[in-house]
């Protein structure tokens, strides 16, 4: 999976490094004031370099492109500048190598786990080269008086300790940042679910209003037209127009019934039902209504072989099966294979798996699959799967969708097993 850096995280990284370098500058000024020993100009140049780079990074941030590359650029440049600060402060003896830790923390919070261990490894390499170079004379000491002449054992111990600290921080920060990213994703998903539920509630209120305001007058119109048609007893143009009125009235009535099912589903009860037989009855209804062509679409699965007993409202499961099968059939206009299977286990609960070999779904369709009034089919109303999701969640279940364009769709509904105590309590209440 490609690494991605969010713009807001990159801004936090810029502000974080500004905070750290400002704290270092303030601490240096306090030390200088209290001891009377001025810092070398090169130290101030290094600090100025940090601030100058921060300005450049901010301009790149405003540009808004190549964010991941910019994050890595900041990380590498920070490690080089930290190495320079450690060098001029003789960090082997003054322990200023702790500055590497901030770069490792920033990498874990902003970029990725891989970048965190990369930062730890680069810190170990840079600090190791600096320590070995100054000890063996390959790199001259910046301040020989401060550096002194520590024994090899002390130098080696400090080096190994620094390495251990770098990778320990990388390990713990990777663990924490991984959990933090999971929490962020969960919060984003929860926010999306909340928005969806609000839209569902709004659609429910709208559907109830439409049903009550339109259903009764519509039934009166349909009945009146049928009576007029019966009195005319003819097949002329007027009779044909009346047939259109009745047919379209029935279509609108079905839409209103779907609205009602969506906004105020029937009461949940715990009646023992045979899901296989219920699904079989639903398929027969679809065949008799012309929605399921047995010649073009081959139906298979274990729904008639295995007896799957569940407790719930039969009407709810008829709605679930009806909408899932109709969607699968619509996805196979040229025909195909429809698989319907049930799996039951104490550990995983009840799984209802509906899969087809149809056209599949685009990423946009999958993202808006359960959004009310969104339909991937031109003639769809966009309430079928929204109703399915609502009913499944009423039973404490979950829906998983696996689909690719041109490779069909698989919908897995997982329902928890109903405890017998809950069933008895519900029966007593009713």
Tell whether 2 is covered by a domain: no
Note whether 170 and 185 are same-domain residues. Answer: yes
How far apart (Å, rounded) are the C-alpha atoms in residues 193 and 187? 10
How far apart (Å, rounded) are the C-alpha atoms in residues 76 and 121? 12
pTM above threshold 0.75: no
Note whether 156 and 198 are same-domain residues. Answer: no
pLDDT attached to residue 379? 58
Domain C-terminal end among 233, 263, 293: 263
The dihedrals phi and psi of 417, each to the nearest 5 degrees, come to: -70, 135
Note whether 105 and 249 are same-domain residues. Answer: no
Note whether 188 and 199 are same-domain residues. Answer: no
- The parent domain of residue 254 ranges over 194-263
Work out the angle between the directed axes of helices 67-88 and 113-136 (0-180°, nearest 10): 30
From first to last of its 430 residues, the chain has per-residue pLDDT tens of: 456 777 777 788 788 888 888 887 887 777 777 776 666 777 778 788 888 888 888 888 788 778 788 888 888 888 888 888 888 776 666 667 788 888 888 888 888 888 888 889 998 898 888 888 887 777 877 666 655 677 777 778 888 888 888 889 889 888 888 888 788 778 878 887 777 777 766 766 666 666 667 766 777 777 777 777 777 665 677 777 777 777 777 767 666 666 566 555 555 566 888 888 888 888 888 887 677 877 788 888 888 787 888 888 888 888 888 888 888 888 888 888 899 999 888 778 889 999 998 888 888 888 777 776 666 665 555 667 888 888 888 888 899 888 888 888 999 999 988 765 455 555 554 4
Task: Output the CA angle 343-349-352, nearest 5 degrees.
Answer: 40
Sheet holding 409-415, edge to edge: 297-300, 336-345, 349-356, 409-415, 398-403
| Cβ-Cβ contacts under 8 Å for 241 (sequence gap 6 or more) | none
Two tokens at 141? 């000491």
Note whether 89 and 172 are same-domain residues. Answer: yes
Note whether 36 and 174 are same-domain residues. Answer: yes
Neighbours of 216 (CB within 10 A): 10
Note whether 238 and 304 are same-domain residues. Answer: no
Tell whether 238 is covered by a domain: yes
Task: Output the CA angle 353-357-358, nearest 5 degrees.
Answer: 110
Note whether 19 and 36 are same-domain residues. Answer: yes
pLDDT attached to residue 406? 83
Note whether 15 and 144 are same-domain residues. Answer: yes
Note whether 212 and 279 are same-domain residues. Answer: no
pLDDT attached to residue 1? 47
Note whether 210 and 300 are same-domain residues. Answer: no
Tally the domains of the chain: 3
First to last CA, the chain: 52
Separation in Å, CA 60 to CA 13, 55, 65: 13, 9, 8
How far apart (Å, rounded) are the C-alpha atoms in residues 109 and 101? 12
pLDDT attached to residue 89? 75
Q: Which of 325, 288, 332 is nearest to 303 (CA)?
A: 325
């Amino acid at each position: 999976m490609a690494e991605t850096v969010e713009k807001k995280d990159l801004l936090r990284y810029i502000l974080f490094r500004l905070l750290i370098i400002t704290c270092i500058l303030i601490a240096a000024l306090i030390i200088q004031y209290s001891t009377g020993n001025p810092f070398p100009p090169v130290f101030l140049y290094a600090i100025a370099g940090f601030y100058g780079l921060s300005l450049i990074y901010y301009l790149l941030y405003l540009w808004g492109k190549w964010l991941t590359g910019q994050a890595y650029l900041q990380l590498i440049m920070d490690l080089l500048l930290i190495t320079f600060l450690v060098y001029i402060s003789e960090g082997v003896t003054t322990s200023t190598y702790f500055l590497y830790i901030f770069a490792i923390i920033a990498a874990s919070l902003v970029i990725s786990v891989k970048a965190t261990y990369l930062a730890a490894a680069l810190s170990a390499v840079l600090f190791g080269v600096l320590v070995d170079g100054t000890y063996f004379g390959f790199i001259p000491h910046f301040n020989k008086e401060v550096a002194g002449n520590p024994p090899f054992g002390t130098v080696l111990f400090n080096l190994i300790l620094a390495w251990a600290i770098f990778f320990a921080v990388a390990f713990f920060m990777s663990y924490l940042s991984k959990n933090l990213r999971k929490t962020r994703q969960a919060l984003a998903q929860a926010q999306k679910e909340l928005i969806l539920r609000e839209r569902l509630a709004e659609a429910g209120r709208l559907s109830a209003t439409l049903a009550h305001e339109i259903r009764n007058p519509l039934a009166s119109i349909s009945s009146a037209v049928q009576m007029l048609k019966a009195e005319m007893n003819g097949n002329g143009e007027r009779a044909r127009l009346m047939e259109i009125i009745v047919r379209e009235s029935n279509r609108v009535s079905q839409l209103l019934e779907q609205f009602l099912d969506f906004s105020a589903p029937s009461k949940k009860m715990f009646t023992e039902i045979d899901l296989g037989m219920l699904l079989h009855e639903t398929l027969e209804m679809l065949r008799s209504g012309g929605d399921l062509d047995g010649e073009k679409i081959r139906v298979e699965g274990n729904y008639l072989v295995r007896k799957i007993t569940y407790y719930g409202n039969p009407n709810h499961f008829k709605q679930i099966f009806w909408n899932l099968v109709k969607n699968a059939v619509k996805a196979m206009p040229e025909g195909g294979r429809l698989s319907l299977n049930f799996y039951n286990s104490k550990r995983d609960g009840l799984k209802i798996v509906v899969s087809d070999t149809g056209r599949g779904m685009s990423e946009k369709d999958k993202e808006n699959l359960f959004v009310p009034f969104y339909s991937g089919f031109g003639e769809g109303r966009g309430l079928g799967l929204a109703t399915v999701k609502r009913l499944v969640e009423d039973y404490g279940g979950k829906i998983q969708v696996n689909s690719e364009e041109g490779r069909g769709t698989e919908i897995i509904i997982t329902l928890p097993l109903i405890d017998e105590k809950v069933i008895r309590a519900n029966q007593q209440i009713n």
